[in-house]
Amino acid sequence: MVKGDINLVEEGESGATTAEKIEINKELLLKYRVHLGRNIKTKFSEEFIYATHPRGFYLIDLTKTIERLKIAAKFLNMYPHNEVLLFSGREYAFKALEMTSKILGYNVLYGRFLPGTLTNYMLKNHVDISLLFVIDHTYDRQAVDEAYKMKIPIVSFVDTNSNGTIIDLAIPGNNKGRSSIAALMWILSVFILRERGVLGEDEVIDVPIEEFME
């Protein structure tokens, strides 16, 4: 990825196709419903919850979401681009993964995760990676189990009903809503490009979050 591959837009300024102010903050995450958890919470997720909605579901602390996204960007940048695999079995996460892969140069798989993809070197579809990133470690259990077996680090978004005991880095956020997934992957892409030095500290990509949605 080189600077010529994307357009940069200063936070708070307008770009050629971006008409409104873009700042990565809690208000942006609220707009895309990243804070909406489930009506179930686990002991693991308690530290990421700040309140309970009157309708009974739990609300995610977006300050911690942004903090973990920044940590994840640093962590992912420790690995070569071609050794990172993005995966999700959720159909409405496919576009977000495709866009992130295109921007960052990561490998991407989606749909059914064929058994042996990470563990059986004899299979035609085998993928040799150093890090696995999934949208939902519970839903994407086959991929997670294989990565864990191979001692491959795992990064995943976690909701309030998640039990992330085998996850190396958990990012709290609504990992079931299409708008939330799109926003989370868009922000992560921006933070990673900032870490790489492709984007300045106050720059974002001139691609709307909506382009990350199915």
CATH code of residue 138: 3.40.50.10490
* pLDDT band at residue 11 under the 50/70/90 scheme: low
Domain count, the chain: 1
The per-residue pLDDT for 15 is 38
> Looking at per-residue confidence, does 37 or 7 come out higher?
37
201 domain-assigned: yes
* Residue 100 pLDDT: 97
Residue-averaged pLDDT of the chain: 86
Q: Reply yes or no on whether the pLDDT at 48 is more than 90.
A: no
What local confidence, expressed as pLDDT, does residue 21 receive? 60
What's the N-to-C CA distance of the chain in angstroms?
A: 24
Q: Does the residue 45 lie in any domain?
A: yes
Give me the domain span that covers residue 187: 8-212
Predicted confidence (pLDDT) per residue in 156-171, tens digit = 999 877 887 789 999 9
Instruction: Classify residue 129: in a domain, yes or no.
Output: yes
Establish if 2 belongs to a structural domain: no
Residue 1 lies in a domain: no
Q: What angle do CA 151, 155, 161 make, to 5 degrees?
A: 115
pTM recorded for the entire structure: 0.87
The yes-or-no verdict on residue 114 having pLDDT over 90 is yes
| Identity at 26, one-letter amino acid code | K
Q: What is the pLDDT of residues 122-169, one digit of tens each?
A: 988 899 999 999 999 999 999 999 999 999 999 999 987 788 778 999
Q: What pLDDT, in 10s, does the model give residues 176-200?
A: 899 999 999 999 999 999 999 999 9
Q: Could you identify the residue written with the tokens 């009903």?
A: 161
Cα distances (angstroms) measured from residue 158 to each of 36, 69, 80, 101, 206: 12, 12, 24, 21, 27
Q: Residues 6 or more apart from 95 whose CB is under 8 A from it?
A: 182, 211, 212, 213, 214
Give domain status of residue 125, yes or no: yes
Residue 71 lies in a domain: yes
In a domain? residue 91: yes
